Amino acid sequence: MDAETGKRLLHLKEQIVANFDHSDWQTIGLLTGHWNLIGGHSRLLRSLSWGDEDYAGNVMTILLAIQAQDSSAIAAFEEFVESKYPGEAVYVSAKPAERKILFAPNVFAVPELSVEPDLVAVMMPFGRDFDGVLIA
């Protein structure tokens, strides 16, 4: 494998780890004809659903196996990822969620301001059951 293909696979692995859910794996497996390899891997989907540490390694193992069998399938992976998850996103949560919401309007942009050490924000639900919970 040449260095350029290796870079493509590493980039693809990062995008998959950050975004894919079980349904995405099923879809790409069917689109590329590699569902047996994906679904038959002993740890890939299990490590995804459990948020295990070895998930990224399992993704790489699958990508390498698919690349070895059918190098054109990697382009299909890239097209799928780019069409479903365009651009770059920063995820606050370390554990992938079943559903992801990406806010794009500027109003949700994280400001480049310094932290004000004497500023506090408190959020509480409204309702009589919560009276007296906050003591300031």
Tokens of 76: 């299909």
Residue at 5: amino acid letter: T
**Cα distance between residue 35 and residue 23, in whole Å:** 12
What is the model's pTM? 0.61
CB atoms within 10 A of CB 81: 19
Name which residue leads in pLDDT, 89 or 77.
77
Structure tokens at 129: 């059951």
How wide is the angle at C-alpha 76 spanned by C-alphas 72 and 82, nearest 5°?
140
CA 104 centroid distance within chain: 17
User: What mean pLDDT, rounded, does the chain reach?
Assistant: 81
89-135 pLDDT, tens per residue? 444 444 455 566 665 666 656 667 787 888 887 776 777 776 665 55
